[in-house]
Amino acid sequence: CRALKQGGAIATGFGWYGTGKFTQGGGDMLVHHCKAGQGGALAAKNFMQTSGRQVIHSCKAQQGGAIYAENALQRVGGNLTVRDCVAHGGRNFLAEGGAVWAETLTHSGGHLAIQNSKSVTNHGKESAGGAIFTQSFEHKDGDIRIEKCMATQGGGIHAKMLEHLAGKLSIETCNALKGGAIHTKILALHDGRLSIQGCAAQGLAALDPEIRPSAENSKAVTIFNQGGDGGGIFCGNFRQWGGEVWISNCSAVRGGGIFDNGVFNQYWGQLYVQSCTASEYGGGLYSRGEVEQLEPARATYDAWLIIGFILMLLLAFSTVLRAFGSLVSFLFVCFASMLLPGQVYENQHLVAHTRLD
């Protein structure tokens, strides 16, 4: 199937008034070898999957090789598999989202797998999101697995903001000039697990002839043949409040594991970077700004208990208040503890941990 504008196989909402919503709540869908300007297989104003199974392969478009969601793409459940799809750019347009293009993407459940997809151009222009291109990516739950994808920015994911709240996100063997796995301005990690393995920021011309720029653009030829920044992650600001981040066997010129272009903040949670390399700076982490690893202090909360116990000792030895001294001091301790309920014990575990091997 083929469409000049939107939806090589299916389009909804374009050219007419309406919500243009596509919803899959069950059943199976298979789409392959389709082509369009936007959404090689499917294009909709809004896309939602709550259940069922969908397989898309060998589709092509300028934006969203498989799926194009003009407004929002939401996944609540079900299985979505995309493989061997391409977003191909030209002289007058950029290639974005080898598999998926969405203004906003929310993943709340189910399983999403993207393999062997790419966002390419052969005229020296940048491409973005080998697997996924979006302005806002919110991962609330469920599993996402991305493998063997590539672009010039964000071999796996390109997002203006990526917020990881829960679930598992795994990216393997992806390549880009900036951000072999992820390219984002803001990366916010709250919980769940992010795993990146075997990704690289390296010259793409050697990997795929379609990405090679035109020979007359000598500057582009140089850029596309040399390595780049952030073998695993390229971000403007890195902020981790919890969860686990594992980055291994990634490489780049600068920031083999992570390239941070602003401020790197780790408040708590766990970050492991293993066997990553850089030909110039920061085999594990390179930051152009500040690096801050913070641990919540407990001294302020413990002071209330210390005061309470001192008062208990004084009252215990008082002959006048001996009868009810213990009761008064006990009530004081309980009152002081209620001022910050639970913090004394919870914060013993809120510790930021980083390991670079």
Nearest Cα neighbor of 354 from 264, 252, 288 is: 264
The residue among 18 and 150 whose pLDDT is bigger is 150
Q: What is the mean pLDDT of the segment spanning 212-231?
A: 58
The CA distance from 328 to 95, in Å, is 72
Residue 247 pLDDT greater than 70, yes or no? yes
Residue 1 pLDDT greater than 60, yes or no? yes
What is the reported pLDDT for 355?
56
What is the reported pLDDT for 328?
47
What is the reported pLDDT for 297?
28
Residue 228 pLDDT greater than 80, yes or no? yes
Task: Give residue-wise pLDDT tens across range 70-88.
Answer: 999 999 999 999 999 999 9
Task: Give residue-wise pLDDT tens across range 256-313.
Answer: 999 999 989 988 889 999 999 999 999 999 999 888 887 652 222 233 333 333 444 4
pLDDT over 90 percentage in the chain: 64
What is the reported pLDDT for 343?
30
What is the reported pLDDT for 257?
96
∠ at Cα 118 (114, 120), nearest 5°?
165
Mean pLDDT in the chain?
81
Task: Give residue-wise pLDDT tens across range 44-55.
Answer: 999 999 999 999
The residue among 224 and 29 whose pLDDT is bigger is 29
The CA distance from 190 to 166, in Å, is 7
Q: What is the mean pLDDT of the segment spanning 15-42?
A: 90
Poorest-pLDDT segment among 69-73, 192-196, 215-219, 295-299: 295-299
The residue among 59 and 152 whose pLDDT is bigger is 59
Task: Give residue-wise pLDDT tens across range 323-346.
Answer: 444 444 445 444 444 443 333 222
Phi-psi region of 124 (alpha: psi -120 to 50; beta: other; left: phi over 0): left
Q: What is the mean pLDDT of the segment spanning 1-22?
A: 86
Highest mean pLDDT among 164-168, 207-211, 305-309 belongs to 164-168
What is the reported pLDDT for 357?
65
**Alpha-carbon separation of residue 83 from 10, 86, 333 (angstroms):** 18, 9, 61
**Alpha-carbon separation of residue 57 from 82, 183, 231 (angstroms):** 6, 24, 27
The CA distance from 341 to 332, in Å, is 14
What is the reported pLDDT for 13?
85
What is the reported pLDDT for 61?
96
**Tokens 């979006």 map to which residue?**
134
Instruction: State which amino acid sits at residue 167.
Output: G
Coil, helix or strand at residue 18: coil
